[in-house]
Chain A
């Protein structure tokens, strides 16, 4: 078996058993990136040489000893560029490690490359990167999803064993679904946000993308936990998420939200999901219909709260202290205006303007305040639902990956591709996407993702349920043709 096809877990075992050396692994990985990334475009940059030199001192007995992990470009890795795929952070180097990175490093992992994304994580296709396009490894004419498109594409293309991404409205799960890998969004506060460049502070979470649920569990066990540097991080014990992962669903009640299956789901996706639900039943699960009545308001709520927070979070990029600065401004206003006009892409500007508008005096109550109230109702929908079911199951995305360029001029249609993922962020609960089959379109196999959602801080249950599904189906072990 080819090295690059191994899961993180298998890789760790082979390294520990001395079957593989970290050097061999890194060299194989370097060759794979060189062979695929000119097509896929997942990496903004990577450094195998430095990884090799770091590997020499690594303690292989550590939980992630010697394992290379690729990192989304909005997470600070000390000494590395951190641009959020934006021109406005051209040349900006992280002066410190994000807490998640520090934890990876102290567990022996080697962050070795920066992954492409939608600028400031705003987008669902990675087309909003200021630097390059990332293509879907299953069909390079299609988008990989977003905003963690580079993370999902690299893991799927076997040019990374696992990656960190960030999820504000589906940015881990939707690209994982489109690329055929596993993507986990932890509960809000489970993983420290310190060092994740903020998009929408009350929604952002760092999470893993990998080729198996067990790999995600392994990474979560390392990066989760309370961080005194993040006031919103939770002081709750971190179990070993890889322990006791089940392989059946006996005694598990799965809820299907009727609002999610009404319309607008692509027929290929629908049939994959139906097969998957049948499979869950065969694994012993009881499937019941539930209601999440405030679902229709999720997208508008999200597109008020997230841009509002973003409009303040992104105000610091002004050309005064770091990053891109316009040439020869006449005065301070021109410095601000021109730096931001030239430095931000159009989707980022659209959301800053939207967020500024909804916070403006006279509009605040009608938009922001109301959105916060609806958010509470959405959270209650889930609380209610989880009183009768262990997990909620639904598609991750209503359709498979769409062609590059198809929606760049239609932001509203683009926003709708997050319809099944956004609610988990609004409610703060955890959710995971696992591959559940393929849509055959124009002779190409396009992965479809199945989403499980569990209550706040129930990552262990979530991973266990997803694992049962994943290990009893063949989908996560498929390699793209590239």
Chain B
């Protein structure tokens, strides 16, 4: 009997990402999620006789951009091939894809701490790991089949949507790394405006290959393919289950079959779909309807659209705004949040305080309201004003919380709320001196105590000034005045 600890997993991911183009890959039909079935179709994407594909140049640009973002190699020419197989969701019974001259080769995906699942961030086995890519190529998506009671239906709206296929090397070793890999992929796609990469909408889909082998063994173990993975956390769960299952089979002296298994998220297990089929011969050949593509122009145009990538943004936030590495990570994780932060922080003398307010008060208010940063009722400029008002002592931190709650509920500006509620701190030295003098006159006992060396007695006097000012007095100014007067 072998021990579980002696095994490591090898995981390879093949991720499909729908490009965020207005129209399909080879025709002018709209790319639209949730339209009535078979409404965004034409002779080309239905594969009707006589129709011909015409390249969507925006898809080429976005593919180049994806390649640049992951540091891929992009050759001077790429070409498109026909991948032949029969399936009802394939209008032509071949898919236009890229075989031996893909758009992008190589590249890597850097995994960072915050991309890992929260509960795994404390114990990352391989911090700073980079997952290498085999290739990124461009192809057309297929239609979507529906299985009704006595028939099947096909919706061709999705057919012909530009699709990236991103193939990783088998560098991933744990479900958590797979989670982090997918999170970073998704993040970068959104950063570049390449895709919305929403797994629930099918804009990002992934196939997983996983095998286990004994530590020290040279060759890889028997590969199992997992299907029906509909969320990043689902991929993690499926892999955790599958790796455990494979190790248990091997520990029990069993053998693994090369097979395809379906993840059942509700049951939390993988179920056998089919065992190894005879390898499919796709009979790839260059598509004679499409000319090979010279990539130079698209790469140049993509270069002009290169966004600041998440890892660069994190680094800059630490340097430019003095926020902690952790906070920079959280801010940069979400492009909209990062943009919000920058708008608020840019005009602030205390960007760190802005970050604190954003990451604590704003995010928690949003989450209890069930809102995203995109529909936050407090604008970045509004938050900046609030934080500045607190930092300059116009209102206290405690008052700030009250003002923020009001801002969030009503959308009013901080200054307006402070005005309406009369919250403004009294910092005028002349006015405060009058109050302090009155308190000193009225409380000879504590004054004597203080002067006798009981330093804490000043707090009582301070409290009296605050009371007189109805809480508006600026406490630090009051302390200063009292100390001066009592000393004198």
Residue ranges of A at the interface with B (Cβ–Cβ < 8 Å): 74-76, 82, 84, 89, 92, 94-96, 98, 193-198, 200-202, 228-232, 308-309, 311-312, 315-318, 320-322, 332, 336, 356, 359-361, 364, 368
Contacts and interface: CB of A to CB of B under 8 A. Distances in A.
A435 B365 CA distance: 87
A202 B290 CA distance: 10
Contact of B52 (A229, A321, A322): A229
A361 B283 contact: yes
B54 interface: yes
Contacts of B444: none
Given A82-B49, A315-B94, A368 B285 contact: yes
B47 interface: yes
B27 to A, nearest CB: 9
Contacts of B92: 312, 315-316
B289 A315 contact: no
A368 B84 CA distance: 15
A359 B47 CA distance: 21
A195 to B, nearest CB: 4
B86 A318 contact: yes
B24 interface: no
Contacts of A316: 47, 49, 91-93
Contacts of B86: 315, 318, 336
Contacts of B48: 95-96, 322
Contacts of B46: 321
Contacts of A322: 48
B43 A231 contact: no
A116 to B, nearest CB: 17
9 contacts: A75-B50, A76-B50, A94-B50, A231-B53, A231-B290, A232-B289, A308-B285, A312-B285, A316-B93
B50 A359 contact: no
* Top 4 A-B residue pairs of the complex, sorted by shortest distance between their CB atoms: A315-B93, A202-B288, A359-B283, A201-B288
Nearest to B88: A320
A129 to B, nearest CB: 17
Nearest to A356: B283
Nearest to A320: B88
A228 B54 contact: yes
- Most chain A CB within 10 A, of B49, B281, B288, is at B49
A92 B49 contact: yes
A332 B152 CA distance: 10
B88 A359 contact: no
Contacts of A320: 88, 154
B292 to A, nearest CB: 11
Main secondary structure of the interface of B (DSSP, over half): loop
A78 to B, nearest CB: 11
A94 B93 CA distance: 20
Interface string B14-56: 0000000000000000000000000000010011111111110
A232 to B, nearest CB: 7
Interface string B71-88: 000000000001010101
B291 interface: yes
A75 B91 CA distance: 20
Given A98-B50, A308-B285, A359 B91 contact: no
Main secondary structure of the interface of A (DSSP, over half): loop
Contacts of B52: 193-194, 229-232
A316 B46 CA distance: 10
A98 to B, nearest CB: 6
A364 B50 CA distance: 26
Contacts of B283: 311-312, 356, 359-361, 364
Contacts of A230: 52, 54
B291 A96 contact: no
A309 B84 CA distance: 11
A322 B54 CA distance: 23
Nearest to B48: A95
A309 B48 CA distance: 16
Contacts of B289: 198, 201, 231-232
B380 to A, nearest CB: 44
A195 B288 contact: no
A195 B44 CA distance: 10
B189 to A, nearest CB: 28
Contacts of A193: 52
B288 A231 contact: no
A235 to B, nearest CB: 12
A195 B50 CA distance: 4
Contacts of A360: 281, 283
Contacts of A197: 49-50
Contact of A318 (B43, B54, B93, B284): B93
B154 to A, nearest CB: 8
Contact of A89 (B49, B82, B84, B284): B49
- Most chain A CB within 10 A, of B43, B48, B290, B291, is at B48
- Most chain A CB within 10 A, of B47, B93, B283, B284, is at B283
A231 B55 contact: yes
Contacts of B290: 231
Contacts of B54: 228-231
A359 B46 CA distance: 25
Interface string B158-201: 00000000000000000000000000000000000000000000
Contacts of A76: 49-50
B44 to A, nearest CB: 8
Given A95-B48, A320-B88, 11 more contacts: A194-B50, A196-B50, A202-B288, A312-B93, A316-B49, A316-B91, A316-B92, A320-B154, A336-B86, A361-B283, A364-B283
Contacts of B285: 308-309, 312, 359, 364, 368
Given A231-B289, A231-B290, A356-B283, A312 B49 contact: no
Given A194-B52, A312-B94, A316-B93, A95 B43 contact: yes
A3 to B, nearest CB: 33
A41 to B, nearest CB: 23
Contacts of A336: 86
Interface in B308-352: none
B50 A231 contact: no
Nearest to B291: A231
A195 B42 CA distance: 13
A360 B84 CA distance: 10
A194 B53 contact: no
A311 B282 CA distance: 12
